[in-house]
Amino acid sequence: MLPLDENWLFNVDRNEIWRLLTIEPNHERDLKLINHWKNCVLWAEMGLAQNTQIAYESNLRQFSSWMLNSHALSLLAAQEHHVRQYICQSLSWQKVSSLNRHLSAIKSFFKWVCRDELISCNPTVRIQLAKQGLNVPIVLSECQVDALLLAPDVATPQGVRDRALLELTCPLWPYQSIGSSPRVQG
């Protein structure tokens, strides 16, 4: 059985770690390994913000719990088909950005454990992040801009102020002011 002190990862033969983690899944050990990954990789190596570290850690803890509950396996025993099944069962309803964050956390973890030779084959190497659509800004038509600029009541001081603010915030407006002729581009 692996010790559960802070340095257990460095004090045990890697072959023994692999044998024990695959034969004896232990969620507490997985959580210690995740914490070690968070401190070594996410904070020390990558310098990720604290909120990102917390989100990645949470995502990996969810995957670890799923591995234990669904397959009675340790996190390090995960294979590619486990990761794909987890995505389909647990993450398919999420937004693409959330799915990609989960995958980034899982991929980062397995890249680290492969680099440190805790496992020999990265189960996420062939799994790609989902394609995200472009977030195209909404553009107002000329008629909508005209209506927006004409909306304030310029007979009142507040209306004059509002109109001035609107004209300042419409930098692509083709007219210098309402009622003037269009700019001639040449």
Quick one: pLDDT at residue 14? 57
Q: Is the pLDDT of residue 112 over 60?
A: yes
d(CA 92, CA 124): 17
d(CA 83, CA 147): 52
Total residues belonging to the chain? 186
Quick one: pLDDT at residue 3? 47
d(CA 34, CA 56): 10
DSSP state letter for 47: -
User: Residues 173, 167: contact at Cβ < 8 Å?
Assistant: yes
* Region 8-115: CATH code: 1.10.150.130
Q: What is the mean pLDDT of residues 33-61?
A: 88
Domain ranges of the chain: 8-115, 137-186
Tell me the percentage of the chain whose pLDDT exceeds 70. Answer: 77
